Amino acid sequence: MALLQISEPGQSAAPHQHKLAVGIDLGTTNSLVATVRSGMSTVLQDAHGHGLLPSVVRYAPDGKVIVGHEAQAQLSADPTNTIASVKRFMGRSLHDIADRAHIPYRFVEDDSAKKQVQLQTRAGLKTPVEISAEILNALKKRAENALGGELTGAVITVPAYFDDAQRQATKDAARLAGLNVLRLLNEPTAAAVAYGLDNNAEGIFVIYDLGGGTFDVSILKLTKGVFEVLATNGDSALGGDDFDHRIYCWVLDKVRETSKNFSPLNEEDTRLLLTKARQAKEWLTDNFEAQIVCKLSNGTMVDVTLTATQFVELTQHLVTKTLSPTRKAMRDAQLDITDIKGVVLVGGATRMPQVRHAVEEYFQQTPLTNLDPDKVVALGAAIQANALVGNRSDSDLLLLDVTPLSLGLETMGGLVEKIIPRNSTLPVARAQDFTTYKDGQTAMSIQVVQGERELVADCRSLARFELRGIPPMAAGAARIRVTFTVDADGLLSVSAREQTSGVEANIVVKPSYGLSEDEITRMLKDSFSGAEQDKHARMLTEARVNAGAIIQSITQALKVDGDLISTADKQAIETEIERLKATSQAGDADAINKAVDALNHSTEAFAQARMNASVAKALAGKNLEDIQL
């Protein structure tokens, strides 16, 4: 009888062994943790039955760190020690946080080269990574309590536009919280996974995500289980809160109409009225009218009724505002509405019927809404985590990203030559040949830039390096191949190689480091509004660079061979050179090009004389047989 085999302790590979894996939606306002149980992705709740964990961390006077609802309740009482929306500061420097005036925190820059922000709290300086780690730790504990064991790993979601530094900071936070990060997953991709689009669908999908404070739209292409982010866009200052604010303003107007001597609201009343506004908004999702009733601290009674129709009118411009980034993303991905196979709604604010209608009308199809839009990202992350730890044998999804802005280098005259266009799918590698500007040039300075504008001065400089040891050749004869490579993590390497000698230089840069979403948006906006101006600037610079090169080569030739022509011919050329120099100073590209033509024309006899001289030199001392090869 064959002997039965027994494995070493702890090495058993029982096929039914289920590893504990979770998906975490680390959100700006709320965070969630989900797992797959009995084949179903489910959000895990705390002891009070809450699924959402407010992303708020409080450093309490007794030294305790409080996370979630309890911390949120202290936000206005203890603002500098109660940190909300820390996600906005991940991987950022002070410089990147544009709208600091409205943020109550005391920021300090660390002394590393990256100058990342830190927050001064009563528990000392805290980095956004440490603060996020507290949120992740709370979710980890929740999961371990609910699942009764240690977690094998977690998939954590990040916005699709998160750059390398923000992704790295998220990973660091997870590590600090003792989590094994299986993968960072783009939020829109997680939403698509939650709807099972990876299993049986091929095609292009739009993920429309309207949360409390932000709007993101992403276009994903799914092919054989491969997710590719074709384009992302959004508005970091547009969300459900703006709808609350519209109701709040409407209520104030109504109250002012009825009560004379109405004084401005204090902070407490503002908060009360905003909460009432939010409740009314949420109520109107399923009802025709909402009653807003409360008593302000000065005794004024508020009692107004808002109908769903009025609410739609009040907020129509906000709904319309989401369509502009949507259109831009469609344009970036070069798609037509008819190319879109499905639309997924994410974020609590997409529950509003007017939002659903607008999306439906724009895309001419009913969006997918049957999963809870607050939970869909965490649910998708859990499905992915479950697959990655091997609980599901059928998939290991490959996820691709895009470059948010074009990458290129500086050419003569401060112009940008784009090598990798924006929205290229990662990883990507592109090469282009360049040449020298001057005779005998042996070195070249390569400046790597990011942005959509035509002039280096309007783009962001990422790095500069030099290629030395180019063999001396005539201007324009050397071939220098410059290769840009961006790997799957968004890391850019640039190499320059002179083709005949093989001399090479290279550099590695993180192209997106330190760029906020707003900055990317601003750079793109500038590129659209500056397009015409850029075209002129580019034409002018190109004409000037061309003129400079011609002047230089003719001056050099005159120095060497000037005695081949008459003084009068020489003077005529010199006159045209001076004229071209003067024209180049002015700002008319056409005039410069005409002056170049005139100069070229004036050198025809000289060129002929040089040609004859060099032929005569080549033939000197040779007989006819030598020449008839």
What residues are labeled active site? 25, 87, 187, 209
Q: At what angle do helices 589-602 and 531-561 cross, to 10 degrees?
A: 20
Q: Find out whether 184 and 90 touch, Cβ atoms under 8 Å.
A: no
Q: Find out whether 482 and 470 touch, Cβ atoms under 8 Å.
A: no
Closest CA to 437 of 459, 460, 410: 410
CB nearer ligand AMP, residue 185 or residue 577: 185
CB nearer ligand AMP, residue 271 or residue 331: 271
Structure-token match 């047989």, residue found: 625
CB nearer ligand AMP, residue 351 or residue 453: 351
CB of 214 to ligand AMP, least distance (A): 8
Q: Say how far apart CA 148 and CA 51 lie, in whole Å.
A: 18
CB nearer ligand AMP, residue 290 or residue 455: 290
- Grouping H, G, I as helix, E, B as strand and the rest as coil, residue 37 is strand
Structure-token match 């992740």, residue found: 136
CB of 68 to ligand AMP, least distance (A): 14
Give the total residue count for the chain: 629
Tokens representing 297 are 């601290």
Structure-token match 């003792």, residue found: 178
CB nearer ligand AMP, residue 68 or residue 211: 211
Q: Say how far apart CA 197 and CA 224 lie, in whole Å.
A: 10
CB of 280 to ligand AMP, least distance (A): 10
CB of 87 to ligand AMP, least distance (A): 11
CB of 4 to ligand AMP, least distance (A): 54
Residue whose beta carbon is closest to ligand AMP: 240
First-last CA distance in the chain: 89
- Residue 71 buriedness (CB in 10 A; 0-12 / 13-18 / 19+): buried
Query: Which helix (H) or strand (E) segment is 102 a member of?
Result: none
**Could you give the angle at the alpha carbon of 47 between the alpha carbons of 45 and 51, nearest 5°?**
25
CB nearer ligand AMP, residue 96 or residue 282: 282
CB of 32 to ligand AMP, least distance (A): 9
CB of 369 to ligand AMP, least distance (A): 12
Residues near ligand AMP (CB under 6 A) are 29-30, 211-212, 240-241, 278, 281-282, 285, 347-349, 351-352, 374
Q: Which residue type, as a one-letter code, is found at position 6?
A: I
CB of 279 to ligand AMP, least distance (A): 9
CB nearer ligand AMP, residue 132 or residue 541: 132
Closest CA to 88 of 119, 64, 124: 119
Closest CA to 497 of 465, 536, 545: 465
Q: How far is CA 202 from the centre of its chain?
A: 25
Closest CA to 95 of 115, 120, 113: 115
CB nearer ligand AMP, residue 30 or residue 521: 30
CB nearer ligand AMP, residue 282 or residue 517: 282
Question: How would you list the strands of the sheet with 460-468, edge to edge?
Answer: 415-420, 407-411, 443-450, 460-468
Q: Find out whether 55 and 173 touch, Cβ atoms under 8 Å.
A: no
For the residues of 168-207, what is the DSSP string, one character each?
A: HHHHHHHHHTT--EEEEEEHHHHHHHHTTHHHH--EEEEE
Q: Say how far apart CA 575 and CA 601 lie, in whole Å.
A: 12
Closest CA to 371 of 212, 586, 137, 195: 195
CB of 195 to ligand AMP, least distance (A): 16
